[in-house]
Amino acid sequence: MLASTSRPLCEEHDLAMFDLDGVIYVGGHAVEHAPESVASARETGMRVAFVTNNASRPPSTVADHLTDIGVPARVDDVVTSSQAAARVLRDRLGAGARVVALGTTGLLEALDAEGLVAVGPDDEAEALVTGYAPDLPWKDLMRGSVRVRDGLFWVATNTDMTIPTPYGVAPGHGVLVEMMRRFTGVEPVVGGKPAPPLLEETIRRVGGERPLMVGDRIDTDIEGGIAVGVPTLLVLTGVSGLEELVGTAPEHRPSYVSPDLRGLLVEHPEVSVDGGSATCGGWTASLDEENGPRVLVDGSGDAQAWWRAVLSVAWRHLDATGEPVGIDGLNPPEAD
Ligand SMILES: [Mg+2]
């Protein structure tokens, strides 16, 4: 069951940690309703932070990009998986430690900011850190892998298997991590979502007593929030959608779901359950056992209430049977 709140989420929480791709922007463009929703949340006094697993761009570059698309951001509002990885290394090794860095400028800057010394793959070091780096020479990767196999402490900035590029979805840093894992038999400590360091570092840097994680992916953003014990808002402007949601087990579910970031500015009313049906706003969802099982929806109202009623029925079915309901013919209303 989704959580409910009688106050807007931006009043219920004092820090929003936004994932970027699929939440704030897609490619070079702002997601619809994102700039004004972030601005309105800020006007209520909510702190905002922008968190990214992408380890290659320094926070200043990310902040400039955000500002360009209408979401004003300062460098301190941005926290990257490179910064989280550097923090992990500093906590474990102390300032001044030498670390083999296989990554780009974003990673080198983050290490430097934590007082760590980046060195090459053949140099004496106490640890090795890897990050997304399209120009990384294969020989450096070979040398680093052998050293990790032989016992050098390894931190990976993230385990994202894919990365969007101008020519389509391409292998991300997670593919390199997977390859090193297979060769070395070693599990790295990971900085980025869904591992805890990135969100822990964000809360430490930006502050806030009642944080909320906002993302578009269940497997990274929502899992990441759950891993640090923070409520989560899933927005449906990116990767995860209806089909994935109806099959999501209780321990992986978001606290709140909204078609877009305007869900941050409104209350999330309770769903009332009566026998096999669930009502929210003007919508009533029920289970059609004969032609499915599938979810039937009657009524009218806003899109967010539709999702709350539908997911209530779908999740009760999943929890009772272990099988997701069919979603054929189930079309979310347009959010207006
Ligand atoms: Mg995303």
**What digits encode the pLDDT tens for the residues 282-298?**
999 999 988 889 999 99
Which DSSP letter does residue 80 get? E
Q: Give the span between the Cα atoms of 48 and 57, in whole angstroms.
A: 19
In this predicted model, what pLDDT tens digit does every residue of 194-233 receive, in sequence order?
999 999 999 999 999 999 999 999 999 999 999 999 999 9
pLDDT-derived band at 55, boundaries 50, 70, 90 = confident
Q: What is the pLDDT of residue 311?
A: 97
216 catalytic residue (yes or no): no
Q: Are residues 86 and 186 in the same domain?
A: yes
pLDDT at 103 over 90: yes
Residues 310-335: what's their mean pLDDT? 92
Mean pLDDT across 319-331: 92
Q: Which of 21, 77, 216, 221 is catalytic?
A: 21
Whether 116 contacts 86, CB under 8 Å? yes
Q: Calculate Rg over the CA atoms of the chain.
A: 21
Cβ atoms of 71 and 189 closer than 8 Å = no
> How many other CB atoms are there within 10 angstroms of residue 271's CB atom?
21
Complete edge-to-edge strand list for the sheet that includes strand 98-102: 117-119, 98-102, 127-130, 153-156, 189-190
Give the list of residues 6+ apart from residue 39 with CB closer than 8 angstroms, or none.
71
Mean pLDDT throughout 173-188? 98
Nearest partner of 27 among 167, 135, 134, 160, judged by Cα: 167
Give bridge partners of residue 117 from the DSSP assignment: 98
Has residue 315 been placed in a domain?
yes
The answer to the question of residue 73 being in a domain is no
Domain termination site, one of 157, 173, 190:
190
Same domain, 92 and 159: yes
DSSP 278-326: EEETTEEEEEESTT-SEEEEEE---HHHHHHHHHHHHHHHHHHHSSPPB
| Domains of the chain: total | 3
Per the CB < 8 A criterion, the answer to whether 44 and 266 are in contact is no
Q: From the CA of 177, how far away is ligand 1's center (Å)?
A: 20
> Is the residue at 74 inside a domain?
no
Residues in the chain, overall count: 336
Residue 246: pLDDT over 80: yes
183 and 103 co-located in one domain: yes
Segment 171-179 shows an average pLDDT of 96
User: Is residue 93 located within the same domain as residue 177?
Assistant: yes
Residues 122, 212, single domain; the answer is no
CA 229 to ligand 1 centroid distance, Å: 19
User: Among 104, 85, 86, which residue's Cα sits nearest to residue 95?
Assistant: 86
Beta bridge partners of 326: 294
Complete edge-to-edge strand list for the sheet that includes strand 78-80: 78-80, 47-52, 15-19, 211-215, 232-235, 256-258
Q: Does residue 328 form part of some domain?
A: no
Q: Which domain holds residue 113?
A: 82-190
Q: Which of 19, 77, 216, 221 is catalytic?
A: 19
Indicate whether 131 and 97 sit together in one domain: yes
Same domain, residue pair 128 and 42:
no
For residue 5, the 8-state DSSP code is: B
Question: Is residue 202 one of the residues assigned to a domain?
Answer: yes
Residue 188: other Cβ atoms inside 10 A: 21
Is there a single domain that holds both residue 165 and residue 129?
yes
Do 283 and 225 share a domain, yes or no? no
CA–CA distance, 183 with 154 (Å, rounded to integer): 13
Centre of ligand 1 from the C-alpha of residue 273, in Å: 32
What is the rounded average pLDDT for all residues in the chain? Answer: 95
pLDDT tens-digit map of 107-118: 999 999 999 999
Residue that the structure tokens 């999740």 belong to = 315
Q: How confident is the model at residue 22 (pLDDT cuts 50, 70, 90)?
A: very high
Whether the model pTM is above 0.85: yes
User: Looking at the domain assignment, is residue 1 inside a domain?
Assistant: no
92 and 129: one domain? yes
Catalytic, 288? Answer no
Mean pLDDT of 26-49: 95
Cα-to-centroid distance, 21 and ligand 1 (Å): 4
CA of 193 to the centre of ligand 1 (A): 10
User: What average pLDDT score do residues 6-13 get?
Assistant: 97
pLDDT of residue 56: 81
Percent of the chain past pLDDT 70, that is, above it, reads 100
Kindly give the distance from the C-alpha atom of residue 306 to the centroid of ligand 1, in angstroms, as a whole number.
23
Mean of pLDDT values over 246-250: 97
Whether residues 138 and 209 fall in one domain = no
Residue 173 lies in a domain: yes
pLDDT at residue 335 greater than cutoff 90: no
Same domain flag for 254 and 212: yes
Torsion angle (degrees, nearest 10) of CA 73, 254, 247, 170: 20
> Is the pLDDT score of 89 beyond 80?
yes
Identify the CATH number of the domain in which residue 149 sits.
3.40.50.1000
Does the residue 65 lie in any domain?
no
Displacement of CA 306 from its chain's centroid (Å): 24
| Last-in-domain residue among 190, 207, 232 | 190
Domain boundary among 173, 190, 207: 190
